[in-house]
Every structure is written in C-alpha cells, then in structure tokens.
Amino acid sequence: MSHSIPLTKESFEALQEELKRLIREERPKVIQDIAEARDHGDLSENAEYDAAKNKQAFVEGRIQEINGKLARAHVVDLSGLKPDKVVFGCTVTVYDTSSEEEVTYKIVGEDEADIKLSKISCTSPVGKALIGHKLDDSVRVVVPSGTKEYEIIDIKYE
C-alpha cells in the first residue's frame, strides 16, 4: 500500500481539517466520555463505557487512515496548465448522444467520488474513458447499462 493517492487540493485540505478536528476535538471528548463512564462503577455491565470505547476505536482508526492517505497523497495542481485535454482534477462537460443531454463531471480520486455532486472517480468506467481525450473528441464507454457515447464539449481546470 505504498502507492501514491491522487487528490485534488480541496480534498487534501478537507482531510487535513478532518484530522485536526479528530485530534483536537473528538479524541479529547472520547477520553472524557470514557473517564465519566468509568466513574459510574462496574465496567462489565456499563453500556456507556462500551460505547465510548467503540467511539475511541473509530476515532483512532480514522486518524490512522487519514494520516496514511496524507502521507501518500499526490496533490494534483492544474493551475498554469492549458485545459486542452481531460486529466485528473478537471471539470469536463460532455454531450450524451443517446439521451441528448449535457452532463458535467469533475474527475477526482476514488475517495472523493460522489455522483450526487457530479464528481466521478478517475478509476470509474466513464472517468477512465474520458481521461486523455481532447475537446470535440467522441468517446465510447462501456457502462453497466450498455455502451454510451459522449462528445467532449468543454474542459476546465479549476
């Protein structure tokens, strides 16, 4: 698991903020919750203690996970580049020839992907197919529902 993880600048900063919050707020709160639950007596039948210990395990696990991602992060900076082809981190607008609709996607890493926010993973079928293509290219993509054809109508590096 030593491979680098591509992240957008926004995602990198969001992970840093989450890590700070977990270390500065969540960790001390959990420690306090454990101490309070311990004061209630018998730990073998103490649901508050069990819940606090479970929360502590989650928080510590998440801290380790974020530290690992940040250590392996490769932040992709598109500033200063000419938006002439689809690359990781860009926003691409495509015309779906079958539905005759325009769709805009941001190509992001697996952890950032959220179709509700129009963010697709660079490892998804559509993301993989679009990467490397240029404006006005026609791209065929095999998706679970069949084959789609997209025409790239706009590329932005934001």
Q: What is the pLDDT of residues 58-99, one digit of tens each?
A: 999 999 999 999 999 989 888 777 888 999 999 999 999 988
Reduced DSSP (H G I as helix, E B as strand, rest coil) percent helix, strand, coil of the chain, to 5: 45, 30, 30
Ordered structural domains, the chain, with CATH: 5-76 (1.10.287.180), 91-156 (3.10.50.30)
- pTM of the predicted protein model: 0.77
Q: Quick count: other Cβ atoms within 10 Å of Cβ 33?
A: 17
Instruction: Select from 122, 58, 111, 54 the least CA-distant residue to 86.
Output: 122
- The confidence score (pLDDT) of residue 1 equals 47
